[in-house]
Structure 1
Amino acid sequence: MSSFRLYSLAAFLFASLAGNACAAPVVELTADGTKYRGLNVLHDKNVCWIAAPDGTYQRISLGNVTSFRKPGGEFHSASPSSLATELRKQLGRIYDVQNKGNFVVCAPKGKAQAYADVISGVERSFNSYFGRRGWTLDRSQFPLVVVVHPTRREFDKEVQSVGMTPNSLLKGFYHPQTNRVTLYDLDTDAPLPPAEVAKASGNGKTALSDATRQTVIHETIHQLAFNSGLHPRVGNNPRWVIEGLATMLEAGALDSTVRSDTEGRINQDRLDWFRKYRATRRKGTVADLITNDEAMFAANSLDFYSEAWAFTFYLAESRRADYVRYLKRIAARDPLENEYTPQQRLADFQAVFGKDLRLVETQFLRFVDGLQQDEK
């Protein structure tokens, strides 16, 4: 594309961002023979991200754009009910589809309502948690879709369709580009005891196992965080921040409203693992977590999750206002900046929590030791 045409395209995209995002015009770009129509979410001189009405994002290289225009009309996101109708047609009769607020929940026959009830509760508690900390979160611009496949086989196909590799530890995921949560019915791996099923049936409900509930809660927290201004859907988000928040909130933190109830907010599974991992954990790991979390995750994901949970829990409990300020700071970064370097990550952290990481690590480990003592 010529420099003049690129300039014209940039001006066109800039104009499409002007004014109220809710009244932004529909834009249409053609690139590599494919036509994209939707909302210009953000762009720079090289790329543009277009949102479809269902909330799916598409990344378009502007150098490959052959035509662009405004076909007329304002952009409107799909309604939950219209998206539910579309998903019923796509998924077929083996799935139930339920609307609950802004959520569209697709699950095996007879279970959608049970999943929807859990998800709705997570949303209320999530907003309340941050509201108590002085942060009124944004409402999602798009319906939030959760798909629960009947078996791992269907789930693994979905994993592969978004370019990921299936593995036995992966039970569910949230994908920022599709904006969907996908998991499978974990109860097919280990059926619930008959007594639990009978108890739920007696109350007019469908039973979900603890493992299933925890997976749904964890992935829904990701989805809410990426749609409420906590994490940008485009850009380099520190993995330890993303997973630390989800593992902290998936346990009891969402429902514990008494500030002194630290024990009620502990994720016991993560704490137990951290205790074991602590024996081989080397000094200076906090600096590695902040600057090089992807390498930690690749080396041992369970050690990484326990460290991310423990450190996040320490910050949220002991440095409450600073933790919120830090989340706001990294959420405000330019999402189109190509790289979030280790130096930038460290500088952002130190700007809020101080430059002495050795002191931070000492206080952090002392805090965790106190949790262990409380358990005895």
Structure 2
Amino acid sequence: EAVKARRRLPDLADFIGLERPHPTVARQQHTIARPDQRQPFDVRARLAAELGKTFEISGTGHYLVAHAPGQRDYWSQRFEDLYRSFVHYFRVRGFHLQEPQFPLVALVFRNQDDFLAYSRRDGAQLGANVLGYYSPLSNRVSLFDVGGGRAQAADWHENAATIIHEATHQTAFNTGVHRRFGATPRWLVEGLGTMFEAEGVWNSTHHTSRRARYNRIRLAQFKRLLPSRPAHLLEEIVASDRLFQSNVDRAYAEAWAFSFFLVETRPKKYSELLARTAARKAFAAYDAGQRMADFTAIFGDNLRHLERDYLEFMDEQR
């Protein structure tokens, strides 16, 4: 069931991970001065007023999760556990994380119809098969319960694929790994999200082998597309996000594979690149020249040599 859920995600490149706001909403981003720094009880009261009595709101150390009444144990701690796994993953690699400035909010709708109705009010442009999304504008994860309230293992696996990916984005944008409203390269954002879908990443304490860190769907996708891979594609990936518009499957496969390669072989430099991109000013343009300059300042200017190492490494993964 987990495989089924994840296979539904690759076709949703514009929306799984970072939803693209409606144009009127996108324009509002430039008027935002600072994030909402209300206290947790203020955010809880605001959510309760917004969502009404059909939702129960549960709090954990870092999360406020709105869900169907009586389902606290089904949702809240899982979000918190994913947050802690994310923090552990980066701290053991020497990456300094910030504490979120305000509670992380997740909305779990009872069904797809309610979820899509909310997404339209939120200004998100979603396809019919979208399971969930993270919005940098509202700073919320929103999804619907694929299992329809059935707390069974198979149903949870369907939900888990969405939660892990979107909670990874939310945590990254609230702990300083990415800058909210910053022009972070898409391959970095989605590469991290897809890496965390592997249990050896989000549950690294219990699954320690490299193979456990494989995202099996992305690895298979990468291998399938490899024979038709354009020469010197890495330069395009580093310099722009065009591949995410022109070839969704290849973009996600390359984002995962290249991120996995860097984390496994050059973890310190990968962390340096995350820190460099996160240090950029919010709303600042990030053109191809500057993206390439930032990347080569860390990894060197011989991209063809790096690309050869990358492809040889991926060829060894089975």
Q: Normalising by the residue count of structure 1, what TM-score does the alignment of the two structures yield?
A: 0.72
* Distance (whole Å) between structure 2 residues aligned to residue 222 and residue 281 of structure 1: 27
Per the alignment, residue 110 of structure 2 pairs with: 150
Contact kept, 8 Å, 1:80 with 1:103, in 2: the verdict is: no
Contact kept, 8 Å, 1:248 with 1:267, in 2: the verdict is: yes
5+ long unaligned stretches in structure 1: 1-46, 56-76, 201-206
* Distance (whole Å) between structure 2 residues aligned to residue 124 and residue 138 of structure 1: 13
- 2:222 alignment partner AA: F
Equivalent in 307, 311, 317 of residue 365 of structure 1 = 311
* Distance (whole Å) between structure 2 residues aligned to residue 90 and residue 259 of structure 1: 40
Which residues of 2 match residues 222-233 of structure 1 at below 5 A? 222-233=169-180
* Distance (whole Å) between structure 2 residues aligned to residue 86 and residue 334 of structure 1: 29
- 2:165 alignment partner AA: H
Per the alignment, residue 20 of structure 1 pairs with: none
- 2:182 alignment partner AA: G
Per the alignment, residue 33 of structure 2 pairs with: 50
Contact kept, 8 Å, 1:146 with 1:180, in 2: the verdict is: yes
Equivalent in 180, 191, 200 of residue 140 of structure 2 = 180
Seen in structure 2, the aligned counterparts of structure 1 residues 136 and 208 have a Cα distance that, compared at 3 Å, is farther
Per the alignment, residue 88 of structure 1 pairs with: 48
Contact kept, 8 Å, 1:241 with 1:308, in 2: the verdict is: yes
- Partner of 1:147: helix, strand, or coil? strand
- Partner of 1:106: helix, strand, or coil? strand
Equivalent in 334, 359, 366 of residue 281 of structure 2 = 334
* Distance (whole Å) between structure 2 residues aligned to residue 258 and residue 365 of structure 1: 29
Seen in structure 2, the aligned counterparts of structure 1 residues 259 and 99 have a Cα distance that, compared at 3 Å, is closer
- Partner of 2:32: helix, strand, or coil? strand
Seen in structure 2, the aligned counterparts of structure 1 residues 260 and 145 have a Cα distance that, compared at 3 Å, is closer
5+ long unaligned stretches in structure 2: 1-29
Per the alignment, residue 240 of structure 1 pairs with: 187
* Distance (whole Å) between structure 2 residues aligned to residue 209 and residue 229 of structure 1: 29
Per the alignment, residue 164 of structure 1 pairs with: 124
* Distance (whole Å) between structure 1 residues aligned to residue 145 and residue 190 of structure 2: 22
Contact kept, 8 Å, 1:155 with 1:184, in 2: the verdict is: yes
Contact kept, 8 Å, 1:80 with 1:102, in 2: the verdict is: no
* Distance (whole Å) between structure 2 residues aligned to residue 126 and residue 288 of structure 1: 29
* Distance (whole Å) between structure 1 residues aligned to residue 207 and residue 67 of structure 2: 36
Equivalent in 130, 141, 144 of residue 90 of structure 2 = 130
* Distance (whole Å) between structure 2 residues aligned to residue 170 and residue 347 of structure 1: 35
- Partner of 2:163: helix, strand, or coil? helix
* Distance (whole Å) between structure 1 residues aligned to residue 81 and residue 62 of structure 2: 13
- 1:116 alignment partner AA: S
Equivalent in 239, 245, 260 of residue 298 of structure 1 = 245
Which residues of 2 match residues 210-221 of structure 1 at below 5 A? 210-221=157-168
Which residues of 2 match residues 1-376 of structure 1 at below 5 A? 49-51=32-34, 55=36, 77-188=37-148, 197=152, 208-251=155-198, 252-257=200-205, 261-293=209-241, 295-337=242-284, 339-372=285-318
Seen in structure 2, the aligned counterparts of structure 1 residues 257 and 284 have a Cα distance that, compared at 3 Å, is farther
**Greater than 4 Å deviation, 4+ residue runs:** 257-260
Q: Deviations over 1:61-81 (max 9, x none)?
A: xxxxxxxxxxxxxxxx32223
Seen in structure 2, the aligned counterparts of structure 1 residues 183 and 258 have a Cα distance that, compared at 3 Å, is closer
The structure whose RCO (Cα within 8 Å, separation 6+) is larger is 2
How far does residue 48 in structure 1 lie from its aligned partner after superposition?
5.4
Indicate the structure with greater helix content: 2
Q: Deviations over 1:265-308 (max 9, x none)?
A: 11111111111121222111111111122x21112322211110
Contact kept, 8 Å, 2:57 with 2:66, in 1: the verdict is: yes
Q: Deviations over 1:8-54 (max 9, x none)?
A: xxxxxxxxxxxxxxxxxxxxxxxxxxxxxxxxxxxxxxx653236xx
Indicate the structure with greater strand content: 1
Contact kept, 8 Å, 1:127 with 1:136, in 2: the verdict is: no
- Partner of 2:197: helix, strand, or coil? helix
* Distance (whole Å) between structure 1 residues aligned to residue 173 and residue 213 of structure 2: 22
- 1:131 alignment partner AA: R
Q: Normalising by the residue count of structure 2, what TM-score does the alignment of the two structures yield?
A: 0.84
Query: Cα RMSD between the aligned structures?
Result: 2.2
- 1:271 alignment partner AA: L
Seen in structure 2, the aligned counterparts of structure 1 residues 238 and 169 have a Cα distance that, compared at 3 Å, is farther
- 1:334 alignment partner AA: K
* Distance (whole Å) between structure 2 residues aligned to residue 350 and residue 226 of structure 1: 24
Length, aligned pairs only: 289
- Which structure: larger Rg? 1
- 1:214 alignment partner AA: A
- 1:163 alignment partner AA: G
- 2:280 alignment partner AA: R
Seen in structure 2, the aligned counterparts of structure 1 residues 333 and 290 have a Cα distance that, compared at 3 Å, is same
Seen in structure 2, the aligned counterparts of structure 1 residues 215 and 271 have a Cα distance that, compared at 3 Å, is same
